[in-house]
Structure 1
Amino acid sequence: MSKKTKHEPHEEHADESWLLPYADLLTLLLALFIVMYAMSATDNKKFEEMSQAFNTALSTGNGVLNFNSAMPSDKNMDKGKKDSEENIVNSADKQKQKNQLAKQEQEDLEKLKKQLDQYIHNNGLTNLLNTKLNQSQLTITISDNALFASGSALVKPESKQLALAISNMLQQFPTYNVVVSGHTDNMPISNSEYASNWDLSSDRALHFMKILLQNTNLDPVKFTSIANGEYHPIASNATEAGRAKNRRVEVSILRKYTDAADQTSVKTK
């Protein structure tokens, strides 16, 4: 009688389901290390291209996968580089043109100042007129004694020639804006014609400007008259000499390029 083989009971196998997530985790870690290595080995240009691709995707709402490649094409890169270079060239050209115009403006104003100073010297008016060129304007300062009787805004007949001479010099430079401003001292006005120094300074500036504009070669659009009254003194009102300096009319030729004085040295007197 055959002997029955005795079977050993089956051994219980350990649960191996944890191997699947573990393998997935190892795969992800491997992929991460590969990406990190690739990034560390990428040169700066490629890194910038990748950065631009992500920026474009984030700003336009397009995913990176919507592009044919993660990097902008060489064609797009070349176009962007060309546009950038053109912008730099255009900016440099504009700055160069501005510098040339500023230089020309400086030469114009220095020429006009020289002419005015020569006229003042030739006519013995050094005590009544002076000029000053700074970073914002060329200013001709005229004492009220050279133009008006006390308390009056009517230009003296013998002083009209001065206004006409100035207008003839201004017509050489017709593109500049000109401001004619009236100033007084702080002594209260005491006549029936003017209620305040505001009124007197306003009329003086306006009357002098009208004589300048008798020269039909000047464009009235470029001219403005303003009243400053007693509020912009250039000397102390405590003395008669100071008050005499404050009573004045100023003709200011305004710069169009306020940094023009940086191009060349500015002469002031």
Structure 2
Amino acid sequence: MSDCPKCPPVGAPAWLATFADLMSLLMCFFILLLSMASMDVVKFKKVADSLKEAFGVQREIQVEQIPMGTSVIEQHFSPGQIQQTPLEEIRQSTEEEKEQIDTPEDMDIAKQKVIEATLKEIADEAEKIKQKLNAEIEQGLVTVETNGFRIVIRINEKGSFSSASAVLKPGFEPVMDKITESVMESKGKVIVAGHTDDIPIKTVMYRSNWELSSSRAVTVAQYILEKQHIDPHRFLIEGHADTHPLLPNDSPQNRAVNRRVEIVLARDEAFLNDRNQAVETLQMDATPDIKP
């Protein structure tokens, strides 16, 4: 049977293949424009990090000036996104900008400013504690002083503990309440350290001055923790016996001064561990011993 002369040829016409290719190219072109205009910065960074780890991309490139340029799509096209992306917050400029370089001198000045501001804050806090304990200081029950980044609240044996005892005397609770309030309002570590004189002790309760000094420190710390809801992780208990005297143990008066419990509000450790400071790390020599 012969073909019908009036029937069209079998298959698509020749121009249809060219038209389909053109439509495909146009679709790819617009998809490419859309992908460049709405870049996911977070995902792009993750992909770049993965490629860096996989292929060993060089991390740093030594250049005299930072290359800068403008993105035509970023300036003249805003993708239809509801949430703002980090790219939309970036304002690019072709003008040269001065690069601020932190020299060692600038770093030293910044450190000094941070130190001075912190020391002033500690001095103001110590003055408030002195005003709160003014009556007790005049009676010789407590003393308050500063030592670098630390505030030392010293509880004297007078009125606080009986001889060879780690139990607070009746009537000393109001003093401890004021001290507890000051500790609650403070920052940083709370070091409670007990001290004795050089006269040896050996009783049923305490085998040595080490146990006596530690027990007195525990008594003070326990009183503070029971009165207020303070994080116990801030506390550090120390018993020094007669190893850190304030005065030589050569008279009854000096021995009485050495028998004490010190509450040290240590800001140096908190200051060094604080990652929100303007300076990343502050190197300083801080000893745990409190000396006049």
- Distance in 2, matches of 1:94 and 1:216, equals 40
- Distance in 1, matches of 2:151 and 2:202, equals 33
Specify the SS of the correspondent of 2:145: strand
CA contact under 8 A between 2:136 and 2:142: conserved in structure 1?
no
Any idea what the Cα deviations from partners look like across 1:15-48, whole Å, max 9, x if unmatched?
A: xxxxxxxxxxxxxxxxxxxxxxxxxxxxxxxxxx
CA contact under 8 A between 2:195 and 2:261: conserved in structure 1?
yes
Pair 1:198-2:207 in alignment: no
Classify 1:85/1:155 alpha carbon distance in 2 versus 1 (closer, same or farther; 3 Å). farther
CA contact under 8 A between 2:140 and 2:158: conserved in structure 1?
no
Query: How much has 1:179 moved relative to structure 2?
Result: 0.5
- Distance in 1, matches of 2:184 and 2:104, equals 34
Classify 1:165/1:186 alpha carbon distance in 2 versus 1 (closer, same or farther; 3 Å). same
- Distance in 1, matches of 2:213 and 2:245, equals 13
Paired residues for 1:118-133 under 5 Å: 118-123=131-136, 125-133=138-146
2:102 corresponds in structure 1 to 88
Give me the identity figure in percent: 25
Classify 1:103/1:218 alpha carbon distance in 2 versus 1 (closer, same or farther; 3 Å). farther
Any idea what the Cα deviations from partners look like across 1:124-180, whole Å, max 9, x if unmatched?
A: 64422212212241111111223111111112232122122112122222x311111
Pair 1:164-2:151 in alignment: no
CA contact under 8 A between 1:235 and 1:245: conserved in structure 2?
yes
Pair 1:254-2:241 in alignment: no
Specify the SS of the correspondent of 1:178: strand
User: Among 256, 273, 276, which residue is 1:244 paired with?
Assistant: 256
1:3 corresponds in structure 2 to none
CA contact under 8 A between 1:185 and 1:247: conserved in structure 2?
yes
**Structure 2 runs not aligned, ≥5 long:** 1-60, 68-95, 273-281, 285-291
TM (norm. structure 2) is 0.55
User: Among 140, 144, 159, which residue is 2:157 paired with?
Assistant: 144
- Distance in 1, matches of 2:256 and 2:135, equals 23
User: Among 183, 207, 222, which residue is 2:195 paired with?
Assistant: 183
- Distance in 2, matches of 1:251 and 1:218, equals 14
- Distance in 2, matches of 1:146 and 1:109, equals 28
Query: How much has 1:237 moved relative to structure 2?
Result: 1.0
Specify the SS of the correspondent of 1:171: helix
- Distance in 2, matches of 1:212 and 1:95, equals 39
Specify the SS of the correspondent of 1:229: coil
CA contact under 8 A between 1:235 and 1:246: conserved in structure 2?
yes
1:212 corresponds in structure 2 to 224
TM (norm. structure 1) is 0.59
Any idea what the Cα deviations from partners look like across 1:68-99, whole Å, max 9, x if unmatched?
A: xxxxx9x922139x9x9455289958964x55
Classify 1:171/1:124 alpha carbon distance in 2 versus 1 (closer, same or farther; 3 Å). closer
- Distance in 2, matches of 1:106 and 1:207, equals 30
- Distance in 2, matches of 1:170 and 1:104, equals 21
Structure with max Cα Rg: 1
- Distance in 1, matches of 2:123 and 2:149, equals 13
Q: Partner letter of residue 122 of structure 1?
A: A
1:78 corresponds in structure 2 to 65
Classify 1:101/1:124 alpha carbon distance in 2 versus 1 (closer, same or farther; 3 Å). closer
Higher helix share: 1
Q: Partner letter of residue 201 of structure 1?
A: S
